[in-house]
Amino acid sequence: MQKRYRSTLTKAGLIVVSVLISLAVFEIGLRVIGYDPLKHLKNGREFILRQSLYSDLRYELTPGASGYAWGTDVQINGNGYRGRSVVPGKFNGFRTVVLGDSITFGNFLPLESTYSYRLHEILNHKKPSKYEVLNLGVGGYDIVQEVSNLEHLGLNYKPDLVVVGFCLNDIGISSPNLEYINSIDKYKSGAISYLRTAQFFSNAVDKILLVKWMKNMNKPEIFQNHYKTRITPISKDEHLLSELMKKAPEKHPLNWYKSKQHVGLLRYAFEHLSKLQKKEKFRVVVLIFPWLVEDSGIYPYITAHKIVTHEANRVGFEIIDIIDEYMDEGMENIRIKEKDLVHPNALGHQIVAQKLATYINNIQH
């Protein structure tokens, strides 16, 4: 009996030693290849983003921050946005403020290739200094955050025109940026800050949990509770909208257009923007970015565009839809990356800039 007990202990001890040796080898291997959990976790965003004092924004760009993030060199000016820093207050010319998410911000692109920068260059080609274009895009923002960013920051610049650079996933929670920011502290303190192995497994678990978090947050009942007073009801007698929502895409995240909670969020944001427009007396145009699907000659998500257009027209906003220009060029020639269905490349941004320049020139005459 005693021999069997000793044999069991010996086997258990060998297993423990083997595990420890394996972990030690794994730890050494991670250090040799230069594994950096902050790089994998944040991709630079921990330096560019910070938690916001405004609860409706949740997070914001850090004034004066710079670094390499989201596939490009980023410089945030002292006023808290990417691009030229201009003086707040009334501008003696025509000032455009552009709202949006990572497309407008310019993920994977140098500043000079973003559509806001190109628009500024085009407009000022013949009449220098007559136009200004401010880029208030922030990666991961939904439509409510975009409008709130205008309210807290953009209105200081007394815009003549507000462009909403609308991505089709802006009606839901599609970014865990704030959760990433809040979780960074554990990688800077305690045992996990010294052990690459612990960092590796913790990072893997974080990624799984954050994917589940985003999926869970967009469930109707949780989404409704999260936004509470920021969802405007859709009545039963709105037959045109109801029919459009029934025909909305099945593909995630565009299936959000079937949801009264998500479309209600869009309605709330547009209504709030309309109130700001009437108070501050600026013009609003909603620029819809298509989903960059495979080229087939048929665009399958036009119903989502129609729903956005319906809600924009309901409060008197104009629409610019660039689906025809992108389809003519070929979606595959517009993508920043082969499998990226969201972010257009420099050509895609140039097309948008030209379209906006034509629109602005038309309303100026």
Diameter over CA atoms, the chain: 99
- Asked if 197 and 278 sit in the same domain, the reply is no
- Asked if 284 and 321 sit in the same domain, the reply is yes
Residue 268 and residue 146: Cα distance in Å, rounded?
12
Strands 94-100 and 131-135: parallel
- Asked if 100 and 145 sit in the same domain, the reply is yes
Q: Is 61 within a domain?
A: no
Query: What domain range is 204 assigned to?
Result: 2-41+178-213
Residue 93, CA distances (Å) to 83, 163, 272, 354 in order = 19, 17, 26, 20
Do the beta carbons of residue 133 and residue 116 sit within 8 Å? yes
- Asked if 242 and 272 sit in the same domain, the reply is yes
Q: Is 17 within a domain?
A: yes
Residue 160 and residue 277: Cα distance in Å, rounded?
10
**CATH number of the domain enclosing 143:** 3.40.50.1110
Strand partners, 218: none
- Asked if 167 and 85 sit in the same domain, the reply is yes
pLDDT > 70? residue 127: yes
Q: What is the mean pLDDT of the chain?
A: 86
Q: Is 71 within a domain?
A: no
Instruction: Report which of 35, 40, 59 is spatially closest to residue 48, judged by C-alpha positions.
Output: 59
Rg, Å, the chain Cα set? 24
Q: Is 347 within a domain?
A: yes
Q: Encode pLDDT of 170-195 as tens digits.
A: 999 877 666 565 555 555 555 555 55
Residue 38 and residue 88: Cα distance in Å, rounded?
35
Q: Is 345 within a domain?
A: yes
Q: According to the model, what pLDDT value does residue 102 have?
A: 96
pLDDT > 80? residue 71: yes
Q: Encode pLDDT of 288-346 as tens digits.
A: 999 999 777 789 999 999 999 999 999 999 999 999 999 999 999 999 998 899 999 99
Q: According to the model, what pLDDT value does residue 128 have?
A: 80
Instruction: Report which of 135, 136, 95, 101 is spatially closest to residue 116, judged by C-alpha positions.
Output: 135
Number of domains in the chain: 2
- Asked if 6 and 119 sit in the same domain, the reply is no
Strand partners, 344: 335
- Asked if 258 and 243 sit in the same domain, the reply is yes
Q: According to the model, what pLDDT value does residue 228 have?
A: 86
Query: What are φ and ψ of residue 297, in 5° steps?
Result: 85, -10
